[in-house]
Amino acid sequence: MQSYPAAHHKTIMAVDIAGYNDPRRTTAHRLVVHEGFWNLMRAAFAEAGVPWDVLFMENTGDGAMIQLPAEVAKADLVALLPDRMLAELRRYNAAHADEARVQLRVALHAGEVYQGSHGTVSDANSHAFRLLDADEIKAALKESRAALALVVSNTFYEDVVRADPAADAPSYRRIPIVNKETKTEAWLRLLGAVTNGFPVPAPRPPSATDFPALVEALLAVPCVRQAESRRLLLELFSRREIADVVPYHAEDRLHVIALARTCQRFDGGLAVLLDAIRTIEPESPQVMALAAIIDGRLEPRAR
């Protein structure tokens, strides 16, 4: 009977330098990029409080595969590390020519890892790299001109990102991934985008003057006020990245306040809420009054 070494649960981080083989880069540029990449990674991990010597790393040439042991808190990798990486990327890019500048794609997943004689073997490794190399992630990074695209697996998002308010779950967008044999969903966050385009709706600052009126108008609508129909309302949202992050409260008023606050943070979020309400309760006087308040906020319609 053949036996295998014991597997260890690890967090998998796959990292890729976007456009590493761009023909505009000379060998000299690639040497600068390669050295700069490892320096900024070391600095970012140090600033996030993750010891460099506990990591298992494989150099992939245009990036890295990094495995982190279970004792490194997964929450730190989404609450602290991305912003530290963005800061180091900005410092590096500010000091280098266009041909040597760096954009990164980073994928996070977790799973069982086996140690082989020439490296590690793990389905989790493969899944992380399928997310990293997906055309959807590459296109989003290129379109947004962000410095860093962070994609996390669906399980990582549910278990880690949503569990920690510091991870900023509303800044992620759920996207379909199709890459080779992998067909799944993942969650994407873009950091350092030049424009607030496709992926990360810019949070809208709450308006202190009309928010109480908005809450009262929502509570006046029966399908919003009642808990059972409110659950159906959330299922009807056309944008799951909004509905999925509405905090739950057992008390109706608190849940409606949380619903309004969450929709406020997304560009077009209140318009999405109004569309879902109209599906259940078309143009009642209460809905018309609510629409007048939302339209008065001059919020763009959801795209």
pLDDT in tens, 66-125: 999 888 889 989 999 999 999 999 999 999 999 999 999 999 998 887 776 566 677 888
Q: Is 228 exposed, middle or buried (0-12, 13-18, 19+ CB in 10 A)?
A: exposed
How many separate domains does the chain show? 2
Cα–Cα distances in angstroms (integers) from residue 88 to residues 142, 147, 166, in the given order: 20, 10, 20
What pLDDT was estimated at residue 248?
A: 86
In a domain, 301, yes or no: no
The Cα–Cα gap between 127 and 115 comes to: 17
Q: Which residues contact 43 (CB under 8 A, 6 or more apart)?
A: 84, 88
pLDDT class of 269 with cuts at 50, 70, 90: confident
Do 15 and 109 fall into the same domain? yes
Do 17 and 84 fall into the same domain? yes
Domain hosting 92: range is 8-191
Do 12 and 110 fall into the same domain? yes
Residue 141 tokens read as: 């990074």
Q: Taking Cα atoms as reference points, which of 68, 31, 63, 62 lies closest to residue 48?
A: 68
The residue behind tokens 């389905």 is 123
Residue 59 tokens read as: 């150099």
Q: Are strands 104-116 and 148-153 parallel, antiparallel or unpaired?
A: parallel
Do 127 and 271 fall into the same domain? no
Q: What is the DSSP letter of 202?
A: P
In a domain, 302, yes or no: no
Residue 51 tokens read as: 């010891």
In a domain, 206, yes or no: no
63 or 266, which is more confident?
63
